Amino acid sequence: MIVADTNVVVQFVVGDDGSADAALLHAEDPEWAAPTILMSELRNVLLGFVRRGVLGPDHVKSMCDDAGRALGDRVEDVPHDRVIDTALECGLTAYDAEFVVLARTLGVFLATSDREILEGAPDVAVSVREAIERARRQ
């Protein structure tokens, strides 16, 4: 199991830059977890595609369903006190800290392409490529 951040899930469902790696990661380790904020962030990113005329609303709704299926029952709440502490400790936004808190709580890695998360939480944050390699070694 891994925690996947919003960028990775967007790559997985949209097929944009990095989508091949995101799809490969899901094939190697299909048990993805995420904090509840992921779905709101995902909807917001996908809505931007609709507003720019890149994707249609029905397609975006289907992508949200795809993300929900990929995560299953592994969308979890995280305690706000730990989010605040982690954001301060790692120099992250509260949004990003939610992913770090969940990864630490579950004892798994956080797959991300976000440089700030990779630098701020090197104990759990790994690139998508590194997550693929780790999944293959298990």
Confidence of residue 138 (pLDDT cuts 50, 70, 90): confident
What span, in angstroms and rounded, lies between the C-alpha atoms of 5 and 10?
9
Domain layout of the chain by residue ranges? 2-137
Q: State phi, psi for 75 to the nearest 5 degrees.
A: -100, 120
What span, in angstroms and rounded, lies between the C-alpha atoms of 130 and 136?
10
Cα dist from 88 to 6, 67, 126, whole Å: 20, 29, 20
Say if residue 16's pLDDT is above 80. Answer: no
What does the pLDDT read at residue 15? 82
Q: State which fold the 2-137 domain adopts.
A: Rossmann fold (3.40.50)
Q: What are 83-111's pLDDT values in tens digits? A: 999 999 999 999 999 999 999 999 999 99
% pLDDT > 90, the chain: 93
What span, in angstroms and rounded, lies between the C-alpha atoms of 132 and 122?
16
Q: State phi, psi for 125 to the nearest 5 degrees.
A: -80, 130
Confidence of residue 18 (pLDDT cuts 50, 70, 90): low
Q: What are 25-74's pLDDT values in tens digits? A: 999 999 999 999 999 999 999 999 999 999 999 999 999 999 999 999 99
**Number of residues that make up the chain:** 138
Is the pTM value of this prediction over 0.75? yes
What does the pLDDT read at residue 17? 66
